[in-house]
Amino acid sequence: MTLKRAIIDFRFIKDLGFIIIFTLVMSRQSLGNIHYNDEGRDWTGICSTGKSQSPIDIPIKWATESDNLLFLKTSSTLDVMVSQKQMSNLTLKDNIYTYYYAFTGGYLAFWDESNNLDTYQLLQFHVHAPSEHTFNGKHYDVEIHFVHQNTNNNKLVAFGLFFDSRTGGDKENEFITALGVGKSNNTALSEIPALNLLKNLNFKEIFHYEGSLTTPPCSEVVSWILIHDVQPISSAQVKDFNNKWMNNKTFAGGKGNNREVQQLNQRFIYKKDTASMQDQAIIIDGVCFIMLLLFAIYLS
């Protein structure tokens, strides 16, 4: 996207109406009594009755056997821009069923398939192993969810990244190393090199669909943005996660901390149309200029 287009869109958004800055109380997915003994099948309420649940299977090629292929659409307007501060002074939170990292210095702008722009602030990120979303039915070793909240309302965007030692390469990943896997709860962490991770991502395969939290209460308030650029991770790093969940008989009888994939139920999955793409998504070190401009407009 160009700066000009971004500014025009921001002005348009400003004209849409009043702005409410919500207190960031939703610093993590609501937890309740989460267990993965049955991969989430026995969760109640909207988890069992909802029709827009997450995760789902993503078809990654047009010629694929994914049942969801018929509901895959390309979009020339779908785009995402992320920006953040250096991730320092973080603490490892071990919630038993995930590792969770509170960090609010991240921002995300999201253009959907109708070319609506919304902006979001990072609340936290956390880990699933194996991945929750599948691609043509295949799980990757690790999926990390960066949960953002809309700057105007309660809507969430979960930005999902994937790590796999076969698809991405069996190589130690500095971002994963910095997460302190295996360390005790409340361990202070040194700086997490998230900027390096984001800067090197290929944003050509962006998928978007409307879904839910993947843990109870499974609220259907989440726009999912999945970047299918599978990152390297070493076998040893994968083992560290699996020792915690998938290979830990005391966790969920030897299952991971992933909910099973859900029915699509007539929803569409949108994929960025790279054929008509003019620009790559933009990642900028520090607080992005456009984000500063945007927040200045909102707060004025």
Residues forming contacts to Zn ion in the complex (CB under 5 A) are: 145
CB-wise, 53 or 75, nearer to Zn ion?
A: 53
Which DSSP category does 71 fall into?
G
CA angle 103, 153, 265 (to 5 degrees): 95
What is the closest distance, in whole angstroms, from the C-beta atom of residue 224 to Zn ion in the complex? Answer: 10
237 is written with which tokens? 């790093």
What is the closest distance, in whole angstroms, from the C-beta atom of residue 18 to Zn ion in the complex? Answer: 31
Three-state DSSP at 163 gives: strand
CB-wise, 133 or 271, nearer to Zn ion?
A: 133
The identity of residue 58, as a single letter, is I
What is the closest distance, in whole angstroms, from the C-beta atom of residue 126 to Zn ion in the complex? Answer: 5
CB-wise, 111 or 224, nearer to Zn ion?
A: 224
CB-wise, 35 or 145, nearer to Zn ion?
A: 145
What is the closest distance, in whole angstroms, from the C-beta atom of residue 13 to Zn ion in the complex? Answer: 28
Q: How far is CA 202 from the centre of its chain?
A: 15
CB-wise, 5 or 28, nearer to Zn ion?
A: 28
Query: Cα separation of 101 and 181, whole Å?
Result: 12
Residues 6+ apart with CB under 8 A from 111: 1, 9, 77, 78, 79, 80, 117
What is the closest distance, in whole angstroms, from the C-beta atom of residue 2 to Zn ion in the complex? Answer: 33
CA nearest neighbour of 291 among 77, 3, 78: 3
